[in-house]
Structure 1
């Protein structure tokens, strides 16, 4: 009687006892061959015309610095000049301090050894907000495909292990579900540059890790 009650409780916990489900995840590591630099030019003056002129002068200087580093205009994404009123709180009230003009840029380059000199030169030319330096790989789609194949292999190996332990064999694939490794609740796999040793003279990119995960459902083979 007790065994029957335990079996009944277990069956209620299994919503769909149709086969074997397994989760598989895999990561592929690659040396980066691309760097993206995001920065802004911000100028503030007391008059709009002066703010525009100061920002334009800095934009010209920064574009010249980029060309000196062999970065073509096609590899530079630049926004139009943006103007807004700048204020600050003084003694509990908002006070006008000037007009702020800014332009945002995103630059791609394959010269990873030139990252530090590039940053030094664009700041010297007029960029005053560095928003990020991100390393990446050009062939990320191919790396993602490889990671997905490995994730499927990992899920299948896990399902076969469970089946062997249970004294059965896996049958046909009944369910394939792609899992975003970065979604809440999933394993914390990410595409990012891993930490690497750095020195004062070397901005080391480390490696790029491209990950994938999958859930596979198998029928139980009937001999």
Structure 2
């Protein structure tokens, strides 16, 4: 599935007259028109990002960290056995205090230190997105007790990016010609071209996004990548000439 669209916007500016005594200032631009065009395309993602955490809570920081490390070992070993490259695995460690909020006399709030929480967050970049659900389930079975979700990326696709820039440039040129003809002028030389790739936005397929308890994860995690929208924007400025 691939859908695409193009939008455009035009701005016309006139000649600026320099003030007397400002001969040392740069020469102003001639009358010009700026047209912005954006091309979009819906594409199937190529990369899945799986994020899970191993969390342990204990009375002391050392006990929490040791327990977290013990639980993390089989999960990380499984990731390696699945052939995941070291560059595709990121780990983040966090240690925090855990407080109990209790109500004392006259319902006054009182915080009591309960212990420490150690969290090891694993982010896995998976190039075979069809494996995402199965791999997430395997890692949950191995001891990952917080499931943060799966997101999707397009990856580095220069060919499609170049095609979108080309489409946006052609649309901006076409629109500029229409505006110039309607205004009774003609286009001169191109004064400036700026391109701005736009970050892709994901669609929202109906999938399970997050859970914090192993027991609530189904046997088969039903993930579907849906589609992502990639965009490229072009701003072009032409000199305006008399007919």
TM-score normalised over the length of structure 1: 0.78
Instruction: Map Cα deviations across residues 107-153 of structure 1 (whole Å, 9 max, x no partner).
Output: 11112111111111222222233333121123234433332222222
SS at match of 1:169: strand
Q: How far 1:68 moved relative to its partner?
A: 4.1
Structure 1 regions of 5+ residues with no counterpart? 1-13, 182-189
Aligned CA-pair RMSD = 2.6
1:170 and 2:187 equivalent?
yes
> 1:184 maps to what in 2?
none
Select the residue among 42, 58, 61 that pairs with 1:45: 58
Q: 1:122 to 1:29 in 2, by over 3 A?
A: same
Structure 2 residue matching 1:70: 3-state secondary structure: coil
Show the counterpart of 1:135: 152
Tell me if the contact between 1:28 and 1:146 (Cα under 8 Å) persists in the aligned partners.
no
Trace 1:6-21 onto structure 2 (pairs within 5 A): 16=14, 18-21=31-34
The alignment covers a number of residue pairs equal to 201
User: How far has the Cα of 1:21 moved from its partner?
Assistant: 1.9
- Give, in whole Å, the separation in 1 of the partners of 2:82 and 2:200: 28
* CA contact 1:61–1:126 (8 Å) conserved in 2: yes
Which residue number corresponds to residue 201 of structure 2?
192
Q: Which has the higher contact order (CA 8 A, sep 6+)?
A: 1
1:105–1:132 CA distance, 2 compared to 1 (3 A)? same
Structure 1 residue 207 and structure 2 residue 227: aligned? Answer: yes
Residue 89 (structure 1) aligns with: 101
Match of 1:105 among 116, 122, 130: 122
Taking the aligned partners of 2:72 and 2:126, their CA distance within structure 1 comes to 19
SS across alignment from 1:59: helix
Aligned-partner Cα distance in 1 for 2:60–2:207 = 44
- 1:202 Cα deviation from its structure 2 partner: 4.2
Question: Is 1:121 paired with 2:141?
Answer: no
Residues 198 and 102 of structure 1: CA distance in aligned 2, closer, same or farther (over 3 Å): closer
Q: How does the TM-score come out when normalised to structure 2?
A: 0.72
Aligned with 2:87 (options 70, 74, 83): 74
Listed one character per residue, the Cα deviations across residues 144-163 of structure 1 (whole Å, up to 9, x for unaligned) are 33322222222111101111
Task: Judging by fraction of residues, say which structure has more strand.
Answer: 2
Distance in 2 separating the partners of 1:35 and 1:201: 14
